[in-house]
Amino acid sequence: MDILQTEFNFTLPKGYVDETGTIHKQGTMRLATAADEIMPLRDSRVQQNPAYLAVILLSRVVTSLGTLKMVTPRVIEELYTSDFAYLQEMYNRINQNGANVIKAKCPKCQHDFDIEAETLGE
């Protein structure tokens, strides 16, 4: 079996601003498991509002963000919309492609190739 990369670094486009005004941009996301997708369904906030699933899911798979001790659902909730969207897209990429790459096809020769996703988030 190939060795699977399970954690991916990222840099948020804007960054999370904590209560002291410190900006946290660099972080790590791990690959998702069945638990990450099944457990949040028991959460009353998700039952009331299915859209909240993305918040809980990201708080589970984002393993670090800047110097924060923990990445809680509250942190994810308070992200700028562009940062939230960035993390959602990254989640899709790493879990569907197994790498932080975008699957592409050359329009001329139809050759399939991977483009390294922009790690700076900009």
Partner 1 sequence: MTGYPLERLYEEVAFLAYYLHWDYKTILGLEHAERERWCKEVSEINKKLNGDENKKGFFEV
Binding site for partner 1 (CB under 8 A): 1, 4, 6, 31-35, 37-39, 53-54, 57, 88, 91-92, 95-96, 98
Reduced to 3 states (helix: H, G, I; strand: E, B; else coil), residue 15 is: strand
**Smallest distance, partner 1 to C-beta of residue 103, A:** 14
Any residues with CB less than 8 A from the CB of 8 and at least 6 apart, and which? 28, 29, 30, 90, 94, 100
- CB nearer to partner 1: give 72 or 88: 88
Largest distance between two CA atoms of the chain = 53
- CB nearer to partner 1: give 53 or 101: 53
